[in-house]
Amino acid sequence: MFIKVITVTALNGYIKKIIDSDFILNNANVKGELSNVKLHSSGHIYFSLKDEFGKVNCVMFKSQASKLAITPRDGMNVIIRGRVSVYEKGGAYQVYCDSMETDGEGQLYLAFQKLKEKLEKQGLFDEVHKKNIPSFPMRIGVITSQTGAAIKDIINVATRRNINVNMLIYPALVQGVNASAEIEQGIKYFNSVKGVDLIIIARGGGSIEELWAFNEENLAYAIYNSKIPIITGVGHETDFTIADFASDYRAPTPSAAAEIAVRNLKDLNNEIKTLRELLLRSVESKVTKEYNKVNLLSKTLKVNNPLNFIVNQYTRIDNLKDNLNYKFNSRISLEKQKLSKLNALLHAHNPLNVLTKGYAVLQNDENEVISEINELKNIKDVKITLKDGSALFKLSNLEEF
């Protein structure tokens, strides 16, 4: 009997053709636990699917991975759909995954999405209704299981950050049929007793079934109606519940909830110290600035001192006075000279000066000068002015020569 010898590549190719032509292997639904999950930067997801006795390698390419409604992580039980084929270069078969959902959680996930959409439309998740988380809560109410790891993590983190904060524990079921009702009662209790600044609702990680108490509608309304701000720290970072959406702040873990709620006393003291130093520098800078400003104003005031102005005005007045006196005296001297010239001119032209030479001035009774002989015929009295005075004379027997 003759047996043909083939290459490794041919063998792998032959096996691949056989597997690729198999209907069941091309439409495989496989369930198992995820392990070695690698979310590659390219967008592809590489992982293994295992059960108690076996393991198979799987890959989901970016085009399908981008449509996933869940985030794959180690330990998650899932059902994948895809096809089985051979990677020829390695000679190993693997499942090329087209879709993935949590095993046994499909109906719960649909119920979660339905309730989320309903409450979202009713406005329970709107940011406008979110209450502010107090910066320095002194009394914090914690609703969680008193035997779980969450309460230990919260107490450890809180006491390490600030020993002065009081933690009030309300023990409640965080899993099972009655869990949501007990958590709701815890919220109502803290709202009734007053004195609590903040509420933390917390539990550790788990499957969607284990966390389902935090997806109940009654709990969402209790969180929404609380007068006290609420922080939720439920499950792991990738776990989201209805309670998270309804709360005022969602922390990824119980420990993170404690870190958000309780300010680190050491950091706070350092911040106060830094602010004190900034305040001192600011005050010193302000004082120095104002001092320089006052100093500048003082110098400006000295330069513009009204006393200096008055003294300068005195000097100006003296100058004006001297100038006025000079101008006044000059004007008087000038006018005297003019007067003297006019007086000399007047004296020179004074008609009375000719009287000293023997001339006389004759005037009638109306003091009009008589310049012709004929005028003497009509008057009886005549005023005659000589160099030494005037006298009134009567005319009689006037005869012409």
The reported pLDDT for the residue numbered 158 is 92
**pLDDT tens digit sequence for 167-220:** 999 999 998 878 999 999 999 999 998 789 999 999 988 877 788 899 999 999
> Are 75 and 140 members of one domain?
no
If one counts the domains in the chain, the total is 3
* 211 and 244 housed in the same domain: yes
What local confidence, expressed as pLDDT, does residue 368 receive?
Answer: 82
- Tell me which residue range forms the domain holding 48: 8-103
82 & 153 share domain: no
Give the gyration radius of the chain's Cα atoms: 61
Question: pLDDT, tens digit, for every residue of 36-45?
Answer: 889 888 989 9
What was the pLDDT predicted at 389?
A: 83
Kindly state whether residue 245 falls inside one of the protein's structural domains: yes
State which amino acid sits at residue 380. K
State the pLDDT at residue 401.
46
Q: Is residue 365 part of a domain?
A: yes
Confidence band for 400, pLDDT divided at 50, 70 and 90: low
Q: Please tell me whether residues 255 and 359 are part of one structural domain.
A: no
Q: Identify whether residues 374 and 248 lie together within a single domain.
A: no
The H or E element containing residue 374 is none
SS (H, E, C) 123-173: CCCCHHHCCCCCCCCCEEEEEECCCCHHHHHHHHHHHHHCCCCEEEEEECC
Give domain status of residue 197, yes or no: yes
Other Cβ atoms closer than 10 A to 323:
10
- 128 shares a domain with 15: no
**Token pair recorded at residue 200:** 């933390």
C-alpha 46/C-alpha 238 separation (Å) is 18
- Asked whether residue 17 carries a pLDDT value surpassing 60, the answer given is yes
- When pLDDT is cut at 50, 70 and 90, the band that residue 2 belongs to is low
Half-sphere exposure of 272 (CA within 13 A, CB side): 7
Token digits for 304? Answer: 């513009």
Domain with 12 in it: what CATH number?
2.40.50.140
For residue 171, the domain's CATH number is 3.40.50.2300
Query: Does one domain contain both 124 and 67?
Result: no
Tens of pLDDT, residues 328-358: 899 999 989 989 988 888 877 777 777 777 7
The amino acid sitting at 142 is: V
Q: Quote the pLDDT of residue 157.
A: 93
- Residue 364 within any structural domain of the chain: yes
Pair (122, 257) in one structural domain: yes
If asked whether residues 22 and 138 sit together in one domain, one would say no
311 pLDDT band, cuts 50/70/90, is confident
- For residue 136, count CB atoms less than 10 angstroms from its CB and return exposed for 0-12, middle for 13-18, buried for 19 or more: exposed
* Domain-embedded: residue 388: yes
**73 neighbors 102 (Cβ within 8 angstroms):** no
Same-domain status, 145 and 257: yes
Query: Does the reported pTM lie above 0.75?
Result: no
User: Do 244 and 153 lie in a common domain?
Assistant: yes
> Sheet of 230-234: strands edge to edge?
166-171, 139-144, 198-203, 230-234, 249-251
